Amino acid sequence: MKQFRAATTHSARPGDGAPAAALANRLLTWYDRHRRDLPWRAQPGESADPYRVWLSEIMLQQTTVATVEPYFRAFIARWPTVGDLARADLQSVLHAWQGLGYYARARNLHKCAGVIADSLGERFPDSEAGLLALPGIGAYTAAAIAAIAFGRPAAPVDGNVERVLARLFALTAERAAVKREVGVLAGRLTPSGRPGDFWQAVMDLGATVCRPRGPACLMCPWAGNCLALQRGLTEELPRRARRKAKPVRHGVAFWAVDATGAVLLRRRPEKGLLGGMTEVPGTEWREWPWTEEEALPLAPVPGQWLSLAGGVRHVFTHFELELTVLAATDLVPGLAEGMWCRPEDFDAHALPTVMRKVADHALRALAQPSAPPEAAIGPIRRRTSGPRPARRASSGR
């Protein structure tokens, strides 16, 4: 392992700073005293469970620890081994996942469990290369599992790690360049002993001490080596590229209610955004609003469709969605494809957050007799004279 040469200064810059071994030892000493107690972590002296490490790492992608903890406990209680998860029905897994978002993770989780159970005898590969061959496991997750579960000298770099090392080495370039340099530095810093504990320590340091705002530098075991602290740059690093405004897509959701109060639901295609989840029927999601003439022929069942006042807005990773909700009541169930379900039974279905927003909006609007649905089609604009804009729809399905 390439180390940093010892120097009389307390800098951690590669080539003239503290040895990597000294930095690792100092951080591991801190970690042994201040480590977070998380349900997927092995206790000191215990071997890590690869299944728990893998499950937690998939759940933690783009999601906070506080959000993940109850989901993780519920999954482990219901499916205590990777074999149990592999034998579960996909819809059960999607239902248990609802609320965590990024539902492709749940589909890949189930698929990956199947591969491990059916082809690998319920044993996880113990190398980064072997882990990378599994569904839903990328470079970061493979490195994290290899280091934490199997003690391999791998370097998983997440947002916390990136922030800590950008400050430690005062990396002032834009984020893309910083990410590349952090990857190199992380490899050099990885100790041969306790690599999993080391990187969990860096993650804990980033989450509890080297925070994005208001870092507690006086509590940091690396404060004496931190170039950003020496130069007064901690609040500025890592530098972020200016965020681009997310594009907005538009759609129409059809809230269809039969005479018994049951609502029409359907399952989305397995592939694509929210694949396999349950939804309120609707149009595709595209870049410009729907006109009345375009939307109504796509209703799932004939009826007197009225627009509900207001609408639903939801933010996905790469775009924002604006939905108009049309409602029709006293419909004939046999005329529509899908499943009819009373709202009090929605919890039995894997409804993603955006569809729960649609349901909440419709139920509130229809429960207010003093504010009836609008006779006109509200946000759905009637097409004006002239040609339709020559733009292709952006599929959200």
Containing 327, the helix (H) or strand (E) segment is: strand 320-331
DSSP state of 127: S
Distance CA 103, CA 111 (A): 13
User: What angle, rounded to 10 degrees, do the helices at 50-60 and 139-150 form?
Assistant: 150
For the beta carbon of residue 326, count every other beta carbon within 10 angstroms.
26
Annotated catalytic residue, options 57, 162, 279, 292: 57
Alpha helices, DSSP H, located in 209-245: 227-230
Q: How far apart are CA 172 and CA 230, in angstroms?
A: 14
Distance CA 333, CA 303 (A): 11
Q: What is the CA radius of gyration of the chain?
A: 26
Torsion of CA 190, 191, 195, 197, to 10 degrees: -100
Are the C-beta atoms of residues 380 and 290 closer than 8 Å to each other? yes
Written as one string, the DSSP assignment of 144-179 is: HHHHHHH--------HHHHHHHHHHTT--S-HHHHH
State how beta strands 263-267 and 278-279 pair. antiparallel
Catalytic, 292? Answer: no
Query: Quick one: CA torsion of 150, 151, 152, 156, rounded to 10 degrees?
Result: 90
| Residue 240 near residue 179 (C-beta atoms within 8 A) | no
Q: HSE-up of 351 (CA within 13 Å, CB side)?
A: 21
Contact 109/129 with Cβ under 8 angstroms?
no
Residue 44 makes CB contacts below 8 A (sequence gap 6+) with 32
Q: Which residues are catalytic?
A: 57
